[in-house]
Amino acid sequence: MSPQTSSQSHLIKKIVIVGGGTAGWLAANHLAKNLLTQAPDSVEITLVESANIPTIGVGEGTVPMMRQSLQHLGISETEFILECDATFKQGIKFVDWAKNPTAGKPSYYHHVFDYPQTSDIDLTAYWLKNIKQNGSSYVDTLSIQGRICDAGLAPKLITTPEFQGAASYGYHLDAIKFSALLAKNAVNKLGVKHIKADVKNITQHENGEIKSLLTLDQGEISADFFVDCTGFKSLLLGEKLKVPFKDKSDTLFVDHAVAIQVPYEDENSPIASHTISTALKTGWVWDIGLKERRGIGHVYSSAYVSHEQAEQELRDYIGPIADDANSRLIPMKIGYREKFWHKNCVALGLAQGFVEPLEATGLLVFDATAKMLAEQFPSSKLDMPLIAKQFNQRVAVSWDNVIDFVKAHYCLSKRDDSDFWLDNRAEHTIPDSLKERLARWKHQPPSAYDFASKFDIFNLENYQYILYGMDFDTQMSHFSNRMAQDDKAQQVFTDIQQQAEFAVNKLPKHRDLINKIYQHGLQKL
């Protein structure tokens, strides 16, 4: 064989994605957008999904990055809102996380999407030194968004163009409808082929690479490259290629969710423009408002509570409107694969890993890794080992970063009303990386130096909201020169208060804006 023919034989001309949940269709969209829109004949992309195995169908909260992805993939915001029953999400309101609940008087803080305002003065250190003791919360001193959420307002006006806002936002959405919209976009606009078939077996080449899928309905489907989006079972990477799973349940204890959907009391009931996360004795409850219904779930550790008791606590949280509603029990595997790209196979979505949905990281990580795969996709198998090595390192950094951040919510809590909360703060359950950071932040507030990696999913601003929302005590031994300008700092805070008042007077109620979008749509960019 001539050298040229040999290198031709390594070209990747056929990609098959297995799985039609949000991860599979996100992968299909990103790969097609990058590979097919430039050179439609260079490669063929096919998505194979079972008609019999349902998608997980939960995953209703996203973060602001989803706006960029929708825009990049050519999906209009109006179309997305209408087709996915989507509403706006401006952050998460954490109820009863910081300390034991007091009857009738829940404590809460917001982790909002708008970053704290910046200035050449160290505003966080200034807040710690001069303002915190007056009882003004961190979020309300440095951002306008907590008050927008508390007032039940939308982050934009009907006249604000698509994907723009007075405050930053992501979405709440119906996960099953989102998969369907992504499928329509990938097939109709981007040229992805779609096959319904159950994969029954997988064949390999002598070198261990995957050769083909054996299906009952469509016979053998071969390809040069495979993307495993088969959910928790990880059919290709986990079961066939035997890439081990790194279990992280000794750090993050929750392992089940029980979910219920309920209608609103009436068609004018307010829709929260943030996720509400309420801590309970052995886990926490998510409460997400879509246009016609709320999706509510109790995420808990089965080592500390029975499934029956967990469901009862969820029903107690919701009240009588849940009396006739069916519940769904969802087991969860917490951790990630030792490698995400092995030989000619990459796993995305739940097949890659999963961490409890406290900060809605599922879609965020899967969207980011699908984009990274698409942008770095090799044209030849000869380039694969180096790209795979880098991909594996970067995705592992992202997962460890997510695990540290989620664990921080438990470590910072002062709750001691159950073994679940006490055990969560046991030293041996806390990753060293997080322990070191928390030790450092006892003496100085977090700074950009603590977040050197571009692949950290959660950064300085996210930690600031959580630390100071949960009343973390930073005892600064010295105050930087950048804080010495009291007048200037005071002026910044006064400006933020004025901006907040302006926003609260101008912005519409969240439900009113959603109704208007159904009537008129948003202006295209």
Ligand X SMILES: Cc1cc2nc3c(=O)[nH]c(=O)nc-3n(C[C@H](O)[C@H](O)[C@H](O)COP(=O)(O)OP(=O)(O)OC[C@H]3O[C@@H](n4cnc5c(N)ncnc54)[C@H](O)[C@@H]3O)c2cc1C
Give the residue numbers marked as catalytic. 89
Using the contact rule CB under 6 A, the part of the chain among 50-58, 128-136, 301-309, 440-448 near ligand X is 50-58
Using the contact rule CB under 6 A, the part of the chain among 78-86, 303-311, 346-354, 418-426 near ligand X is 346-354
Instruction: Please report whether residue 20 would count as binding ligand X according to CB under 6 A.
Output: yes
Rounded least distance, CB 217 to ligand X, Å:
10
- 281 vs 56: CA distance, rounded Å: 26
Residue count of the chain: 525
Residues 179-218 that bind ligand X (CB under 6 A): 198-199
Instruction: Please report whether residue 137 would count as binding ligand X according to CB under 6 A.
Output: no
Residues 6+ apart with CB under 8 A from 42: 13, 35, 36, 379
Tell which one of 12, 15, 16, 22 touches ligand X (CB under 6 A): 22
Residues 6+ apart with CB under 8 A from 356: 252, 254, 299, 332, 334, 406
> For residues 128 and 197, which CB has a smaller minimum distance to ligand X in the complex?
197
Given a contact cutoff of 8 angstroms between Cβ atoms, the answer to whether 439 and 469 are in contact is no
Using the contact rule CB under 6 A, the part of the chain among 8-16, 49-57, 313-321, 408-416 near ligand X is 49-57
Rounded least distance, CB 368 to ligand X, Å:
11
Instruction: Please report whether residue 446 would count as binding ligand X according to CB under 6 A.
Output: no
Instruction: Please report whether residue 296 would count as binding ligand X according to CB under 6 A.
Output: no
Select from 164, 152, 58, 64 the least CA-distant residue to 112. Answer: 64
Rounded least distance, CB 310 to ligand X, Å:
12
- 339 vs 392: CA distance, rounded Å: 6
Rounded least distance, CB 4 to ligand X, Å:
37
Token digits of residue 30:
């990103």
Phi and psi at 265, nearest 5°, equal: -60, -45
Instruction: Please report whether residue 49 would count as binding ligand X according to CB under 6 A.
Output: yes
Instruction: Please report whether residue 58 would count as binding ligand X according to CB under 6 A.
Output: yes
Could you count the other beta carbons within 10 Å of the beta carbon of residue 313?
Answer: 18
- The alpha-carbon radius of gyration of the chain (Å, integer) is 24
Token digits of residue 295:
């999706």
Instruction: Please report whether residue 87 would count as binding ligand X according to CB under 6 A.
Output: no
Residues 6+ apart with CB under 8 A from 283: 254, 298, 299, 300, 301, 305, 310, 420
Tell which one of 12, 279, 350, 514 touches ligand X (CB under 6 A): 350
Map residue 286 onto helix, strand or coil: strand
Tell which one of 146, 349, 445, 446 touches ligand X (CB under 6 A): 349
Rounded least distance, CB 185 to ligand X, Å:
16
- Site size toward ligand X, by CB under 6 A: 38
> For residues 123 and 395, which CB has a smaller minimum distance to ligand X in the complex?
395
Map residue 225 onto helix, strand or coil: strand
> For residues 49 and 114, which CB has a smaller minimum distance to ligand X in the complex?
49
Tell which one of 137, 212, 230, 273 touches ligand X (CB under 6 A): 230
Residues 6+ apart with CB under 8 A from 262: 293, 294, 296, 318, 321, 322, 325
Phi-psi map region of 91: left, alpha, beta (phi>0 left; psi -120 to 50 alpha) = left
> For residues 56 and 346, which CB has a smaller minimum distance to ligand X in the complex?
56
Tell which one of 12, 29, 36, 60 touches ligand X (CB under 6 A): 60
Instruction: Please report whether residue 366 would count as binding ligand X according to CB under 6 A.
Output: yes
The residues binding ligand X (CB under 6 A) are 18-24, 48-50, 53, 55-56, 58-62, 175, 198-199, 229-231, 235, 257, 297, 330, 332, 349-351, 357, 360, 362-364, 366
